[in-house]
Structure 1
Amino acid sequence: MDSVLLGDCRAVFAGVPAESVDFCLTDPPYLVNYRDRSGRTLAGDRVGHWLTPAFAEVHRLLKRDTLCVSFYGWTKVDEFVSAWRSAGFRLVGHLTFPKRYTSSSGLVRYQHENAYVLAKGSPRPPEHLIGDVIDWAYSHNEFHPTQKPLAVLTPLIESFCPFGGVVLDPFAGSASTLVAACLCGRHGIGCELEEHMHATAVARLARVRRLLLCSLGFEGDVAAALRLAA
């Protein structure tokens, strides 16, 4: 555990035992052929043939009566919902993350992100309920072109994954989900398709783990890790 595997999650996760993770939190490509201002792109961001088999693996790996939170591209919501349902998930919640800035603009200014809460089986309500509107914090996208902020990921992990549990991310990117899991006292396992991003994810996760271990017993250890990893 606490590792990022290199390769296509559809193949890589085939060797991971079924029903071995407690929660999935992931940010798959939105199928929009995204390119940021510096020209960075995302693998698998053109067509969604991988959606259903990837989430079928997620469903297989999750324990019974657990949850998955997945971000998605709203212009391709029909493809995402179809894939999730085909994989065996039920849609049980929807999260909105309002931003204080405009990501892009067209007929309107786009100022929020979305994620669905997906259920395998019948999970019990968490002990600490969170709202379905969570403020966004800009990550500056230092490590990844669509990097999600740790401040958004940590409350999801704390609510939906038991302390000491295992968080799964099949589209790990720069390992933001796994870093957040580490800071929350959970374990994590992820997969990243692009070799250069995998190297970034491994280094970033290792740096945060070293910081937490070295500062164990001192005040401000998590705060320091957050500053370095955000």
Structure 2
Amino acid sequence: MSRIVQGNCLEVMPTFPTDSVDFILTDPPYLVNYKDRTGRSIAGDVAGDWLGPAFAQMHRVLREDAFCVSFYGWQAVDQFMAAWRAAGFRIVGHLVFAKSYSSSSRFLKYQHESAYLLTKGRPAMPASPLADVLPWKYTGNRYHPTQKPVECLRPLVESFSPARGIVLDPFAGSGSTCVAARDAGRRYLGIELDPKYHAVAVARLAQPQDLRIAA
């Protein structure tokens, strides 16, 4: 049942049954009105009115005693925290991905990405917990302005979803979560609003695994 859908996740997720996915791994807009050096931008990256409804739907479709990993924008962490808690998620961990380079320099050099580990219910403790500080591989952002590396996403998929489980990404972008899920032997459901990024994701997932460019 693996597929990636072009559409608004606020319209698509309500069509999914309750308790129907095993893990959510997502990289939503950070609410920073981001534009890369070529002028590419991301839909929904200005106002956070979608945050609460989106995470409420994610909580509904996630099965009981399961995990969600969400990247977030540190400038808007209060809005993300409020949305997660209002939806019913428990915050149980924080992940830091250390970069060997800085994305930008202001008061500090920005050399990490971060995500929160959330749960619905109370899943069992893992026998071998994943480290909360992990390395980051630069993708070059070839497919998407905030492209995440498959090499960094795959350990999350393997640690927090069961074999042959269904991994959902409601903000799929160029499909990196779906590629990581497929490469880890999981099924996937992706939703992407922007037609051009959806087309890129479909094309990436059509490639044989050994020819796929990690991103």
TM-score by length of 1: 0.91
Letter in 2 for 1:110: Y
Correspondence 1:120 to 2:130: no
- Hey, what does 2:170 align to over in structure 1? 170
* Per-residue deviation, 1:229: 3.8
CA contact (8 A) 1:178 1:188 kept: yes
* Per-residue deviation, 1:137: 0.5
Query: SS in structure 2 opposite 1:196?
Result: helix
More helix by share: 1
CA contact (8 A) 1:204 1:229 kept: no
| Per-residue Cα deviation, 1:63-109 (whole angstroms, up to 9, x for no partner) | 00001000000010000000000111010000001100010111111
Aligned pairs for 1:154-169 within 5 A: 154-169=154-169
Aligned pairs for 1:53-202 within 5 A: 53-202=53-202
- Hey, what does 2:31 align to over in structure 1? 31
Identity score, percent:
57
CA contact (8 A) 1:157 1:181 kept: yes
* Per-residue deviation, 1:144: 0.5
CA distance in 2, matches of 1:139, 1:61: 30
Aligned pairs for 1:34-53 within 5 A: 34-53=34-53
CA distance in 2, matches of 1:32, 1:93: 24
CA contact (8 A) 1:127 1:159 kept: no
Count of residue correspondences: 215
CA contact (8 A) 1:31 1:76 kept: yes
Query: SS in structure 2 opposite 1:79?
Result: helix
**Which 4+ residue blocks in structure 1 deviate beyond 4 angstroms?**
none
Letter in 2 for 1:143: Y
Letter in 2 for 1:115: A
**Unaligned 5+ runs, structure 2:** none
CA contact (8 A) 2:100 2:111 kept: yes
Query: SS in structure 1 opposite 2:189?
Result: strand
| Per-residue Cα deviation, 1:146-167 (whole angstroms, up to 9, x for no partner) | 0000111000000000111010
Letter in 1 for 2:140: H
TM-score by length of 2: 0.97
